[in-house]
Amino acid sequence: MKHLRSLLDLTNVEFQTIISWSRSLKAKLKAGQRPDLLKNRTCALIFEKASLRTRVSFEAGMAQLGGTAIYLTSDAGWRERESIADFVRVLAEYCDFVVCRAISQSTVDELALHDVIPVINGLTDQSHPCQAIGDVLTMLEDSNGNLQGKTITFVGDGNNVVKSLIKASHLAGMRFRLACPQQYQIADSFFALINDRYGQIDFAQSENLRDMVAEADYIYTDVWTSMGQEAENESRKTAFAHFQVNSKLLSIAPKHCKVLHCLPARRGLEITDDVLDSERSIVFQQAGNRLHAQKGLLVWLAVANGYITQNDAGLG
């Protein structure tokens, strides 16, 4: 059974197919077409953390594809009334997909271990693959399909969003730079598996902002304190104080450089209003693309798991 526990579940070709189908579904929607490729299919959503974009884009995406999403609240008894093993085996009797936003990556991995229903990672402490798929879609649109050799610089914490973005941007042929205080940088051990699976990544990380943004085609940032890290808020504010995406930083980046943020943003901390609301920001296009990326992913999983044929999907 095919899952999306992390991007490592996808081959390069599979990743490109999801991006391509997301683009096709976006074009169809713009032309007023909502093909019911997942008619009568159901997707359960189980979220241990707050969400706007991930939840709504999956719910809207399922509806547009002719299916239904079921958002489970805590009264479903996740962990408390029964084990994850029993929970997922029961869900699989009713539903065709499950999206899980979990405190820990191990929860998503455990759901998938039973191999009874395709499991989609809707963010964990370690990764956010759905976000990264939408981000590549956004940069591809912005660059007219030409991301090969382009540089993305992430300014901020070496967190879950970065870890997925490093993989996705590598699959898109990009170079990755991380401007981050040393203690929050990414451990060398993270790269072994990726290099092994996808080939050598072009990656550098440094505290030196100027070096990291000098060649940036895209600058990306995210909150300094992720969900679950609230106790570290004050120490993180101090550590990241110089890692703000503001107009001064943009003045040392190439003039054509665009700005991304996965949202939600803490305006005035990791990014200033004047940048987020500027013409160089593609942040709301990026948020919108979560819908199209989610639809591309769902249809791809439907094909990969034999619910429909590639021919039925008709997306190329």
In angstroms, give the least distance from the CB of 235 to ligand NVA: 17
In angstroms, give the least distance from the CB of 146 to ligand NVA: 27
Burial label, 170 (beta-carbon count in 10 A; 0-12, 13-18, 19+): buried
φ/ψ (deg, to 5) at 297: -65, -45
| Residues assigned a catalytic role | 101, 128, 131, 222, 262, 290
> Which of ligand NVA, ligand CP, none does 52 bind, CB closer than 5 to 8 A by kind?
ligand CP
Cα–Cα distance for residue pair 63/61, rounded to 1 Å: 5
Piece of 93-101, 189-197, 202-210, 220-228 that binds ligand NVA (CB under 6 A): 220-228
In angstroms, give the least distance from the CB of 117 to ligand CP: 21
Interface residue with ligand NVA, options 223, 257, 299, 313 (CB under 6 A) = 223
In angstroms, give the least distance from the CB of 51 to ligand NVA: 8
Nearer to ligand NVA, 161 or 304 (CB): 161
Q: Indicate the DSSP class of residue 180.
A: -
- 270: contact with ligand NVA by CB under 6 A: no
- 159: contact with ligand NVA by CB under 6 A: yes
Cα–Cα distance for residue pair 29/56, rounded to 1 Å: 17
> Which of ligand CP, ligand NVA, none does 6 bind, CB closer than 5 to 8 A by kind?
none
Q: What is the dihedral of CA 248, 251, 252, 257, to 10 degrees?
A: 120
Q: Write the Ramachandran bin of 121: left for phi over 0, alpha for psi from -120 to 50, otherwise beta.
A: beta
Judge whether 111 and 119 are in contact, CB under 8 Å.
Answer: yes
> Residue 298 has which token pair?
């769902």
Cα–Cα distance for residue pair 2/304, rounded to 1 Å: 6
Point out the residue whose Cβ comes nearest to ligand NVA.
Answer: 226
**Cα-to-chain-centroid distance, residue 158:** 14
Residue type for position 15: F
Piece of 37-45, 70-78, 206-214, 221-229 that binds ligand NVA (CB under 6 A): 221-229
φ/ψ (deg, to 5) at 179: -100, 110
In angstroms, give the least distance from the CB of 290 to ligand NVA: 10
Judge whether 143 and 217 are in contact, CB under 8 Å.
Answer: yes
Helices and strands, number each (H, E), in the chain? 13, 9
- 161: contact with ligand NVA by CB under 6 A: yes
- 186: contact with ligand NVA by CB under 6 A: no
φ/ψ (deg, to 5) at 221: -140, 170
Q: Is 309 helix (H, G, I), strand (E, B) or coil?
A: coil
Contact letters for ligand NVA, residues 246-265 (x by CB under 6 A) = ----------------x---
The sign of the dihedral angle between the CA atoms of 58, 60, 63, 68 is positive
Q: Where in 50-89 is the site for ligand CP (CB under 6 A)?
A: 51-54
Q: Where in 94-123 is the site for ligand NVA (CB under 6 A)?
A: 123
Nearer to ligand CP, 52 or 204 (CB): 52
The count of residues interacting with ligand CP (CB under 6 A) is: 9
In angstroms, give the least distance from the CB of 227 to ligand NVA: 4
- 271: contact with ligand NVA by CB under 6 A: no
- Residue numbers at the binding site for ligand NVA (CB under 6 A): 123, 159-161, 222-223, 226-227, 262
Q: Give contact residues for ligand CP (rule: CB under 6 A).
A: 51-54, 123, 131, 262-264
